[in-house]
Amino acid sequence: MHSETPSGRARPLPPEERRAALITATLALISEHGVKVTTRQIAEAAGVAEGTIFRVFPHKDGLVRVAVETALDPAPLLEELAALDLDTPLPQRLTQLAAILQRRLTSIFNLLHSVGMHGPPEPEASGRRGAAGVRSPNEEIHQAVIRVLEPDADRFRYPLPEVARLLRLLTFAGSHPRISDNEPLRPEMIAAVLLDGMRQPESATPESGSGRCAEHNRPDRP
């Protein structure tokens, strides 16, 4: 709630708070109305006059674009990954990791669908250029995933960068509504497939110790 001046009018927000309020309101409304959301709806949700929007953004499309770029900011995701307990056993930690990545991907898929975009804005438009010595958001996320896996590096048959890449690919495919036929993979399944594949353990297969395997191991086999 905005504080009031002695005249009873709402006290104007500082410029940065006003901008943040407009972005937050826009993101909340986009999920319901898509790009058809009006500046009046945004202003009402943000608690400002409609004309205030155009003192901060040149037009509605500019506000929508900045709102999308804000939602794509990797900072909250990186903070969540950094907070994971590295002493948690690998299967549970991998499940937690997949769940965090899946939540972000799902929110991004839904947002881009709402605004009619088929992919994130170009790096030039988002202001995050690949300057020398500066990691891209994708690389930041990749390195954060590697850090979560590092305590168990010796338990993987592939180098950690490849494990992290496979995890992100599987999570992306298993979370995308079209690829997954609107039946996203559970984080537990993503972790299990990455760790154990799809085969039953050898001791649980009918061939183990009998049948074809037993026949293969017979000493009188030619």
- pLDDT per position as a tens digit, 87-99: 999 999 999 999 9
Q: Which of the pair, 64 or 122, is modelled with greater confidence?
A: 64
Longest dimension (CA), the chain: 102
Buried b (16+ CB within 10 A) or exposed e, 103-113: ebbeebbebbe
pLDDT score at 134 = 62
SS (HEC) of the chain: CCCECCCCCECCCCHHHHHHHHHHHHHHHHHHHHHHCCHHHHHHHHCCCHHHHHHHCCCHHHHHHHHHHHHCCCHHHHHHHHCCCCCCCHHHHHHHHHHHHHHHHHHHHHHHHHHCCCCCCCHHHHCCCCCCCCCCHHHHHHHHHHHHHHHHHHHCCCCHHHHHHHHHHHHHHHHCCCCCCCCCCCHHHHHHHHHHCCCCCHHHCCCCCCHHHHHHCCCCCC
Mean pLDDT, rounded, for 173-179:
94
pLDDT score at 6 = 42
Distance CA 175, CA 169 (A): 10
Mean pLDDT, rounded, for 43-65:
92
pLDDT score at 11 = 54
Comparing CA positions, the residue from 59, 60, 58, 144 lying closest to residue 101 is 144
115-145: per-residue pLDDT in tens? Answer: 887 666 665 444 444 555 567 899 999 999 9
Q: Which of the pair, 34 or 160, is modelled with greater confidence?
A: 160
- Tokens 């901060």 appear where? 56
Q: Looking at the predicted structure, is the pLDDT value of residue 211 above 50?
A: no
Distance CA 180, CA 13 (A): 44
Q: Which of the pair, 129 or 173, is modelled with greater confidence?
A: 173
Q: Looking at the predicted structure, is the pLDDT value of residue 32 above 60?
A: yes
Among 20-29, 58-67, 134-143, 209-218, which is the least confidently predicted range? 209-218
CB 156 within 8 A of CB 167: no
Mean pLDDT, rounded, for 192-220:
63
Q: Looking at the predicted structure, is the pLDDT value of residue 197 above 70?
A: yes
pLDDT score at 127 = 45
Domain spanning 15-69 has what CATH number?
1.10.10.60
